[in-house]
Protein backbone atom coordinates (compact mmCIF):
# COMPACT_ATOMS: atom_id res chain seq x y z
CA UNK A 1 0.00 0.00 0.00
CA UNK A 2 1.46 3.34 -1.04
CA UNK A 3 1.89 6.08 1.49
CA UNK A 4 0.62 9.48 0.46
CA UNK A 5 2.36 12.56 1.78
CA UNK A 6 1.09 16.11 1.83
CA UNK A 7 3.55 18.96 1.54
CA UNK A 8 3.38 21.13 4.66
CA UNK A 9 3.80 24.39 2.72
CA UNK A 10 0.84 23.50 0.48
CA UNK A 11 -1.24 22.55 3.51
CA UNK A 12 -0.60 25.79 5.40
CA UNK A 13 -1.32 27.87 2.30
CA UNK A 14 -4.67 26.13 1.94
CA UNK A 15 -5.66 26.15 5.61
CA UNK A 16 -3.93 29.39 6.70
CA UNK A 17 -2.51 27.84 9.85
CA UNK A 18 0.95 28.75 11.08
CA UNK A 19 3.97 26.60 10.26
CA UNK A 20 5.14 27.13 13.85
CA UNK A 21 1.95 25.47 15.08
CA UNK A 22 2.69 22.35 13.04
CA UNK A 23 6.34 22.40 14.09
CA UNK A 24 5.36 22.64 17.77
CA UNK A 25 3.02 19.67 17.38
CA UNK A 26 5.86 17.71 15.81
CA UNK A 27 8.31 18.81 18.53
CA UNK A 28 5.85 17.56 21.16
CA UNK A 29 5.49 14.19 19.42
CA UNK A 30 1.89 14.71 18.32
CA UNK A 31 2.74 14.64 14.60
CA UNK A 32 5.52 13.09 12.57
CA UNK A 33 7.01 15.25 9.84
CA UNK A 34 8.85 13.64 6.96
CA UNK A 35 11.64 15.52 5.19
CA UNK A 36 12.18 14.70 1.53
CA UNK A 37 14.44 16.81 -0.66
CA UNK A 38 14.50 19.67 1.88
CA UNK A 39 10.68 19.82 2.04
CA UNK A 40 8.54 18.85 5.02
CA UNK A 41 5.61 16.48 4.52
CA UNK A 42 2.97 14.84 6.65
CA UNK A 43 1.46 11.42 6.08
CA UNK A 44 -2.15 11.89 4.99
CA UNK A 45 -3.21 9.42 7.70
CA UNK A 46 -2.24 12.09 10.24
CA UNK A 47 -4.52 14.72 8.68
CA UNK A 48 -7.51 13.97 10.93
CA UNK A 49 -5.32 14.54 14.00
CA UNK A 50 -3.83 17.72 12.53
CA UNK A 51 -7.30 19.05 11.73
CA UNK A 52 -8.51 18.17 15.23
CA UNK A 53 -5.51 19.92 16.81
CA UNK A 54 -6.03 22.96 14.58
CA UNK A 55 -9.67 23.20 15.60
CA UNK A 56 -8.81 22.93 19.29
CA UNK A 57 -6.12 25.59 18.97
CA UNK A 58 -7.69 28.14 16.64
CA UNK A 59 -11.40 27.74 17.41
CA UNK A 60 -11.31 26.77 21.09
CA UNK A 61 -8.06 28.62 21.90
CA UNK A 62 -6.47 25.57 23.53
CA UNK A 63 -2.72 25.99 23.94
CA UNK A 64 -0.14 23.39 22.91
CA UNK A 65 0.08 21.87 26.38
CA UNK A 66 -3.71 21.53 26.52
CA UNK A 67 -3.75 19.87 23.11
CA UNK A 68 -1.15 17.38 24.27
CA UNK A 69 -3.09 16.56 27.46
CA UNK A 70 -6.42 16.22 25.62
CA UNK A 71 -4.87 14.02 22.94
CA UNK A 72 -3.30 11.65 25.46
CA UNK A 73 -6.54 11.47 27.46
CA UNK A 74 -8.51 10.62 24.31
CA UNK A 75 -6.00 7.89 23.43
CA UNK A 76 -6.31 6.48 26.96
CA UNK A 77 -10.12 6.50 26.69
CA UNK A 78 -9.90 4.61 23.38
CA UNK A 79 -7.58 2.06 24.97
CA UNK A 80 -9.91 1.58 27.94
CA UNK A 81 -12.92 1.21 25.63
CA UNK A 82 -11.10 -1.55 23.75
CA UNK A 83 -10.27 -3.30 27.02
CA UNK A 84 -13.92 -3.07 28.11
CA UNK A 85 -15.06 -4.57 24.80
CA UNK A 86 -12.59 -7.45 25.21
CA UNK A 87 -13.71 -8.08 28.77
CA UNK A 88 -17.36 -8.09 27.69
CA UNK A 89 -16.55 -10.69 25.05
CA UNK A 90 -14.72 -12.85 27.61
CA UNK A 91 -17.58 -12.50 30.09
CA UNK A 92 -20.14 -13.46 27.46
CA UNK A 93 -18.04 -16.49 26.49
CA UNK A 94 -17.76 -17.61 30.12
CA UNK A 95 -21.50 -17.15 30.69
CA UNK A 96 -22.26 -19.32 27.67
CA UNK A 97 -20.25 -22.23 29.08
pLDDT in tens, 26-78: 999 999 999 999 999 999 999 999 999 999 999 999 999 999 999 999 999 99
pTM of the complete model: 0.83
Sequence spans of domains, the chain: 5-96
Tell me how far apart the 2 most distant CA atoms of the chain are, in Å: 61
Residue 1 has pLDDT above 80, yes or no: no
CATH T-level topology, domain 5-96: Multidrug-efflux Transporter Regulator; Chain: A; Domain 2 (1.10.1660)
Q: How far apart are the first and last CA of the chain?
A: 42
- Burial 67-81, CB ≥16 within 10 A → b, else e: bbeebeeeeeeeeee
Is residue 2 pLDDT above 70, yes or no?
no
What's the CA gap between 82 and 39, in Å, rounded? Answer: 37
Amino acid sequence: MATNYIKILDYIQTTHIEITFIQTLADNGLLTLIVLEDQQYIDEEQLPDLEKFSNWHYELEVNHQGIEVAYHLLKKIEQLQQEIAQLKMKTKFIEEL
